[in-house]
Structure 1
């Protein structure tokens, strides 16, 4: 299904979605950087099974961040041309994709917090 955009409010909403997606990239970079710092902190000698568990958690988080970063970049490429120019078309799949990325972003933030808490529990 395709909808022609003529409304300034809708154009503003698309620009906002674009900015939100840019913020998601910044958030993913923060999570990646923070994860690397936490990973280095976890290098303290811990029991082998704890080190293994933490490695699995961090590796899973890194993979999720990498995959979502690609999806956000793909979404940005779709949104960017919609934020300028007189004739615009959007498909409902774009909104569905944005919602999927939003849900995955929330999931990664929760996973990051869980991983961080898990590490801090072992560090105390």
Structure 2
């Protein structure tokens, strides 16, 4: 479904969605950098099996991060032209896509922090 709208409120909302996607990309970069730090810390753990377990988890999460980054970049490219100009043609699926990515972003951040906390607890006990 396509709707043509001339509305300053819609323009502001689209700009906000665009800025949110920019923040998500920044958050993903932070998680990636933090993941690298955590992996370096994991080498201090004396048990090879534990290291392998967490490295496998972090590598899987990094793959998810990369896929999510591509999806967010794609959405951002779709949002950018909608943030300027007087008339905008948008599809409601754009908002649905944003909501799905929001949930995916929340899930991956939660999973990453759980894994990180598990590893840090293990390191602290050794």
TM-score normalised to structure 1 length: 0.96
Task: Identify the residue that residue 18 of structure 1 maps to in structure 2.
Answer: 18
Whole-angstrom distance in 2 between the partners of 1:118 and 1:3: 48
Deviates more, 1:74-83 or 1:114-123: 114-123
1:81-92 map, 5 Å:
81-92=81-92
SS at match of 2:90: strand
Q: What is the RMSD of the two structures over their aligned residues, measured on CA atoms?
A: 0.9
**1:49–1:42 CA distance, 2 compared to 1 (3 A):** same
Distance in 1, Cα, partners of 2:39 & 2:45: 12
Partner of 1:63: 63
Q: Number of aligned residue pairs: give it.
A: 124
Q: How far off its partner does 1:56 sit?
A: 1.3
Residue of structure 2 in register with 1:96 after alignment: 96
- Compute the displacement of 1:46 (Å): 2.6
- Is the Cα–Cα contact under 8 Å of residues 45 and 123 in structure 2 kept in the other structure? no
Unaligned runs of 5+ in 1: none
Q: Deviations over 1:68-118 (max 9, x none)?
A: 000000000000000001221110110111011100100111011111111
**Partner residue in 2 for 1:120:** 120
- Residues 68 and 105 in structure 2, CA contact (< 8 A), matched pair in contact too: yes
Unaligned 5+ runs, structure 2: none
Q: How high is the TM-score relative to the length of structure 2? A: 0.95
Runs of 4+ in 1 over 2 A off after TM superposition: none
Whole-Å separation in 1 of the counterparts to 2:91 and 2:25: 23
